[in-house]
Structure 1
Amino acid sequence: MNRRRRPPRSPSRRKPEISFQNNHADLIERQLEEDGHRTWGFVIYRTTYGNDDEWQEFLARLRYRMEQHFEWCNGLDVLGLFTLLVIEDPEQLDGASTATVRQRFREWRETAPQLEQREGDEDGREIGPGLSPRYRFAIQVDADSLRSVVHDAPAPPDEDATKRGWVKLIDASWEPATDERFLNAFDPIEGVTEKDVGWMKIPYKNVDEYYVRTRDRNYWPTSYLRPPTIMGWPYTD
């Protein structure tokens, strides 16, 4: 017997057959409205400079996967508000650690909201970072992550059902633990032996998904997975 599929309780206006909560374009649009912002997207820090062709391939694959997903969401209008900002500095960032990227990102975000969004709203108030993940998290692409995207993951236009291509998502608010109970519990990663090392691996093809998720301040502490585990289903190495 064929059962009629029930419509979602809160249907997406862009794609009524799915819920609003499952449409990243709808969610990002609401985020922009709540923060009074006009652009979105993680800032990318390039920390590998050995092969420009591979770097361009990485950017092309990232753009393709995002366009593919937002077309499915009927949200190309929201994708049009996306700003791909890549920070490149071969002298200072080649081989840089996540700690170095975090510090650079913290410095950048001090003035970025005003410069990127707008100088002030109609009432003369300044525009701050709000809860925008753009100013709370950054992406780092190092030699290992670049290799994973360009050489390990399926190339577009083939479908990518894997999570072999990954990037580093860095939490700008992270600080090393001071409580000895949380120290020396794990093997060191960049010298950090606590569970939360301040960054995690996310599939490059799902950066918009993690942009949506990380707006919730509870997401990181409740969902964090320590490297080398890559976020996303299945939740195993």
Structure 2
Amino acid sequence: MYPLPLAQGNPQTPSDATIQKWLEGATNPASLTFTDRQKLLRRHPWPESDALCKETTGLSFDQLTEKAAHSDPATLTYGESWLLAQGTSGVLANGDKQMLDRVRWPAPARAAYDAALEAILSETDRAARANARVALARHRDGYWGKRKEISVQDRRNAEFVSSWPWMHEVEEMLAADAEARWGFVCFRTAYGDDAQWEHFKTQFANGAELSLSMLQSARSEFWTPDVLLGRWEIQFVEDREALEGAGLHQLCLRFRRMREEGRIRAGLRRDVFLYANQASIQSSLDHYPLPDRGFVVAGDPEHEPGKIPTYLHNFKGNVRVAFTGVFTCFYARLIPRGDPEDDPSMIRGNRQSWDVVFLKARMNREDKTYPPASQNNRN
């Protein structure tokens, strides 16, 4: 995400012949070939550049240019704005890297390039590129602004799980069902102060969205977590009479009943639930604002008191999870009970059993909350 349009090593300066061609093209655009024009637009080689545009946006460069010229910049995606504003030189393996070095060229070379580029642009091109630059700045400012709000360790934990396919599996699930959401059921078990409860929900949402904003994809430089951000959900369950002060076993029974009766929204996790007790709600008050963050408690719905002797690491069926870890590390790494890979001691393929998640949480000596510092959570 956010590839840098800068070449490495010594400056790659255009040849004298290329500069002369640009000077001629500035006054006689017809003298510039199709390939010359694509190089000026940083879309060389062609048709590889157009193929990348179609793969990323679903549109050819001509179609994307027409769209962007007549669109509100706020509607342009990161990939669309990047390709129009920066071209493909920096992202294609065989891209024209010389064109990334413009800022280091001698002044006469830069002037010749700028003049030739200006000569070949249509009014539609200019409008599209202007809108793309506005959109790209918005995307970058948004990302870097959020990056400053999250702690280094929370960001690194989110980035670490970005290299696995779970995000795309969630996207595929959402694409198959327009009504589905992804996320968790969360029970409220403390009912003392409604204002505190609303604060907890707000801080939870802020932490979840902040961590999701840090996700990147190994599949594409242009992937953004927009789909995940737009369709995550926490299905809060409030029932003062039945849930006030409820213990873990009672919550397990309630969740299993909801699951059996089909009362969990499509797409939400059915192998884990969350709950907010007074300690959780208080954590949102004590650890505020971000990057300081509170926690929610995650429960194993298959837990039974009689199973405790079979657990490892003093796990007792639940674990605290930081707001900024619930929808990233915890969602991606947990091996639920009954999974083919489930084993109390299991760390497999970067996934972790309930017992291991609990062990990792204990590494945070201050609050015993998952995930621990990134360097302690690499396996």
Q: Is residue 163 of structure 2 the alignment partner of residue 27 of structure 1? A: no
Q: Which has the higher contact order (CA 8 A, sep 6+)?
A: 1
Q: Given that residues 47 and 94 in structure 1 are in contact (C-alpha distance below 8 angstroms), is that contact kept between their aligned partners in structure 2?
A: yes
Separation in 2, partners of 1:99, 1:178 = 12
Q: Is residue 234 of structure 2 the alignment partner of residue 84 of structure 1? A: yes
For 1:46-85, what aligned pairs fall within 5 Å after superposition? Answer: 46-73=188-215, 74-85=224-235
Aligned residue-pair number: 192
Separation in 2, partners of 1:21, 1:230 = 18
For 1:41-190, what aligned pairs fall within 5 Å after superposition? Answer: 41-73=183-215, 74-112=224-262, 116-117=265-266, 134-150=269-285, 152-155=286-289, 158-160=290-292, 165-177=294-306, 182=309
The 3-state SS of whatever aligns with 2:182 is coil
The amino acid across from 2:162 in the alignment is N
- Length-normalised TM-score, structure 2: 0.43
Q: Given that residues 201 and 229 in structure 1 are in contact (C-alpha distance below 8 angstroms), is that contact kept between their aligned partners in structure 2?
A: yes
Q: Given that residues 47 and 90 in structure 1 are in contact (C-alpha distance below 8 angstroms), is that contact kept between their aligned partners in structure 2?
A: yes
- For residue 31 of structure 1, report the CA deviation from its aligned partner: 3.6
Give the aligned CA root-mean-square deviation in angstroms.
3.7
Separation in 2, partners of 1:84, 1:136 = 14
Q: 1:21 to 1:224 in 2, by over 3 A?
A: closer
Separation in 2, partners of 1:24, 1:71 = 15
Q: Given that residues 24 and 208 in structure 1 are in contact (C-alpha distance below 8 angstroms), is that contact kept between their aligned partners in structure 2?
A: no
Q: Given that residues 249 and 303 in structure 2 are in contact (C-alpha distance below 8 angstroms), is that contact kept between their aligned partners in structure 1?
A: no
- For residue 109 of structure 1, report the CA deviation from its aligned partner: 1.0
- For residue 133 of structure 1, report the CA deviation from its aligned partner: 6.9
The amino acid across from 2:291 in the alignment is E
Q: 1:88 to 1:42 in 2, by over 3 A?
A: same
Unmatched segments (≥5 aa) in structure 1: 5-12, 118-131, 187-193
Q: Given that residues 196 and 224 in structure 1 are in contact (C-alpha distance below 8 angstroms), is that contact kept between their aligned partners in structure 2?
A: no
Separation in 2, partners of 1:20, 1:98 = 32
- For residue 67 of structure 1, report the CA deviation from its aligned partner: 2.1
Separation in 2, partners of 1:26, 1:76 = 16
Q: 1:208 to 1:24 in 2, by over 3 A?
A: farther
Q: In the alignment, which of 180, 190, 207 is matched to residue 326 of structure 2?
A: 207
Percent identity, aligned pairs only? 21
**1:178-213 superposed Cα distances (whole Å, 9 cap, x missing partner):** 69xx38x99xxxxxxx92211111112211021122
**1:26-84 superposed Cα distances (whole Å, 9 cap, x missing partner):** 62341463696632111110001111111111111111122222333321222222222
The 3-state SS of whatever aligns with 1:112 is coil
> Which 4+ runs in 1 deviate beyond 6 A?
13-16, 18-21
The structure where helix makes up a greater share of residues is 2
Unmatched segments (≥5 aa) in structure 2: 1-7, 9-55, 57-77, 80-90, 92-155, 216-223, 343-351
- For residue 24 of structure 1, report the CA deviation from its aligned partner: 8.5
**1:76-107 superposed Cα distances (whole Å, 9 cap, x missing partner):** 22222222210000111111111111110010
Q: 1:27 to 1:146 in 2, by over 3 A?
A: same
The amino acid across from 2:331 in the alignment is Y
Separation in 1, partners of 2:259, 2:252 = 11
Q: Given that residues 24 and 212 in structure 1 are in contact (C-alpha distance below 8 angstroms), is that contact kept between their aligned partners in structure 2?
A: no
The amino acid across from 1:135 in the alignment is R
Separation in 2, partners of 1:198, 1:29 = 29
1:128 match: none
Separation in 1, partners of 2:211, 2:295 = 17
Q: Given that residues 32 and 40 in structure 1 are in contact (C-alpha distance below 8 angstroms), is that contact kept between their aligned partners in structure 2?
A: no
Q: Which has the greater radius of gyration?
A: 2
Farther-moved stretch of structure 1 (89-98 vs 69-78): 69-78
Separation in 2, partners of 1:45, 1:25 = 29
Q: Given that residues 334 and 354 in structure 2 are in contact (C-alpha distance below 8 angstroms), is that contact kept between their aligned partners in structure 1?
A: no
Separation in 2, partners of 1:231, 1:66 = 14
Q: 1:48 to 1:214 in 2, by over 3 A?
A: same
